């Protein structure tokens, strides 16, 4: 059985992850030197903690994992409710602090939501894959994603909530949803966007205004994005050298170990490594989409395509915001940014992807 698993394993996915981890650890070592490399050593601890979970997510047949999806989902929803009563950090009640470690339930909630959506879709489409186009069944699936999204928006954490939306869109697209629902969704979004914009909280409006006109408040709300652009531009082709970046090492770039680590990489390692990160993500996401296409069943397709949606959003949003192309949100760069909850979740996600990869046979998008 082990030989069969490793025979079908997509090693390209694992190689991409190792490349991202390697660049991320070098960047963390550099960006955390003013704090005695505290984040760097904590990240090593989280890698060690994450590896057993990665192995379990890979070895245990995903059909068996799916059986606990409802319980896992329920537990994550409970934690998302509970975290709303914790003390706010940077304006958001998103974290539990346990024995010196911070834990963000919305990260594990991504996995729980994807698994439960796959579980529900499998039940709803037991007889006919087109059953998803019955309104009440589609509503039930949307409700699964909607509950954690609403709770995360209440924290508030619009960036993480958006990643759930991306995963949901990817899964529904693969599930065989009718074009009429896609057209209706586009129309609803077109109507709701202006309404939502007019009712956004002040901090969210500030981020959008900074995104559009960062120079309007260069020492306040626009400071971070201006420094980020300066850092990336200063790196040029080969970078200023690890531990040598001006914006990074002199404290102008913040937070440099999490949200703006791509800016630090651009400054110290240059366009070469920044470009390598983008190319690696494109290859990784492409490989995961291919695994979804060649999964042995629809459940495997739903799980992997949902994970592809999460990674795609995080990559686009994090890198986009550091360049001023997208509004700033607190979205980390997977396997590169510092963060224990994020790292643990990403390791489990890749374990699930390789789980599906190792058990695939041929394309099986059943009509």
Strand partners, 101: 98
Q: What is the pLDDT of residue 100?
A: 65
Query: Whole-angstrom distance between the N-terminal and C-terminal Cα of the chain?
Result: 30
Q: What is the pLDDT of residue 364?
A: 40
Residues of the chain with pLDDT under 70: 1-5, 90, 99-101, 126-128, 203-204, 207, 361-367
Spatial CA neighbour of 349 closest among 311, 313, 322: 311
Rounding to the nearest 10 degrees, give the CA dihedral for residues 23, 29, 34, 37.
Answer: 140
Distances (CA, A) of 131 to 95, 142, 363: 38, 14, 21
- For 93-118, b/e burial (b = at least 16 CB within 10 A) is bbbeeeeeeebbbbbbbbbbbbbbbb
The three-point CA angle 168-204-94 to 5° equals 65
143 upstream amide cis, omega within 30 of 0: no
| Alpha helices (H) along 134-260 | 135-154, 158-174, 179-198, 202-212, 223-235, 246-249
142-182 residue pLDDT tens: 999 999 999 998 888 888 999 999 999 999 988 888 888 88
Neighbouring residues of 252: CB distance < 8 A, sequence distance ≥ 6:
227, 230, 231, 246
Whole-number Å distance between alpha carbons of 303 and 299:
6
Strand partners, 103: 96
Neighbouring residues of 115: CB distance < 8 A, sequence distance ≥ 6:
65, 66, 69, 72, 73, 303
Is the distance from CB of 124 to CB of 177 less than 8 angstroms? no
- Chain centroid to CA 264: how far? 20
- Rounded to whole angstroms, the maximal C-alpha distance in the chain is 62
Spatial CA neighbour of 122 closest among 136, 103, 109, 137: 137
The CB-side HSE value for 68 (13 A sphere, CA atoms) comes to 10
Whole-structure pTM value: 0.90
Q: Please give the structure tokens belonging to residue 127.
A: 């007889």
Q: What is the pLDDT of residue 123?
A: 86
Q: What is the pLDDT of residue 340?
A: 86
- For 189-202, b/e burial (b = at least 16 CB within 10 A) is eeeeeeeeeeeeee
Centre a 10 Å sphere on the Cβ of residue 280 and count the other Cβ atoms it contains: 20
Rounding to the nearest 10 degrees, give the CA dihedral for residues 51, 30, 322, 200.
Answer: 70
214 upstream amide cis, omega within 30 of 0: no
Q: Please give the structure tokens belonging to residue 256.
A: 């440099």
């Amino acid at each position: 059985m082990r030989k069969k698993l490793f025979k079908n394993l997509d090693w390209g996915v694992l190689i991409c992850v190792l490349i991202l981890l390697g660049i991320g650890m070098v960047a963390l070592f550099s960006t955390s030197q003013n704090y005695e490399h505290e984040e760097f050593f904590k990240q090593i601890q989280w890698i060690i903690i994450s590896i057993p979970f990665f192995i379990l997510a890979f070895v245990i047949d995903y059909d068996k994992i799916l059986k606990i999806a409802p319980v896992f989902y329920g537990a994550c929803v409970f934690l998302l409710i509970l975290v709303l009563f914790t003390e706010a950090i940077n304006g958001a009640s998103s974290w539990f602090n346990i024995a010196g470690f911070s834990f963000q339930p919305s990260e594990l909630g991504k996995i729980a939501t994807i698994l439960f959506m796959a579980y529900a879709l499998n039940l709803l489409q037991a007889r006919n894959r087109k059953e998803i186009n019955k309104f009440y069944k589609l509503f039930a699936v949307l409700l699964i994603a909607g509950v954690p999204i609403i709770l995360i928006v209440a924290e508030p954490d619009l960036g993480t909530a958006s990643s759930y939306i991306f995963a949901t869109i990817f899964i529904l697209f693969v599930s065989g949803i009718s074009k009429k629902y896609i057209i209706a969704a586009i129309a609803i979004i077109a109507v709701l966007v202006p309404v939502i914009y007019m009712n956004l909280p002040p901090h969210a409006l500030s981020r959008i205004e900074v995104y559009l006109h960062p120079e309007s408040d260069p020492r306040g709300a626009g400071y971070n994005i201006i420094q980020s652009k300066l850092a990336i531009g200063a790196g040029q082709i080969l970078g200023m050298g690890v531990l040598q970046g001006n914006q990074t090492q002199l404290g102008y770039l913040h937070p440099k170990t999490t949200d703006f680590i791509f800016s630090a990489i651009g400054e110290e390692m240059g366009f070469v490594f920044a470009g390598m990160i983008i190319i690696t993500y494109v290859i990784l996401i492409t490989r995961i989409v291919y695994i979804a296409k060649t999964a042995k069943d629809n459940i495997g397709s739903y799980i992997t395509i949902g994970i592809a949606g999460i990674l795609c959003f995080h990559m686009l949003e994090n890198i986009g915001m550091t360049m001023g192309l997208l509004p700033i949100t607190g979205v980390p760069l997977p396997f590169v940014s510092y963060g224990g909850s994020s790292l643990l979740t990403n390791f489990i996600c890749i374990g699930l992807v390789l789980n599906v990869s190792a058990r695939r046979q041929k394309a099986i998008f059943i009509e």
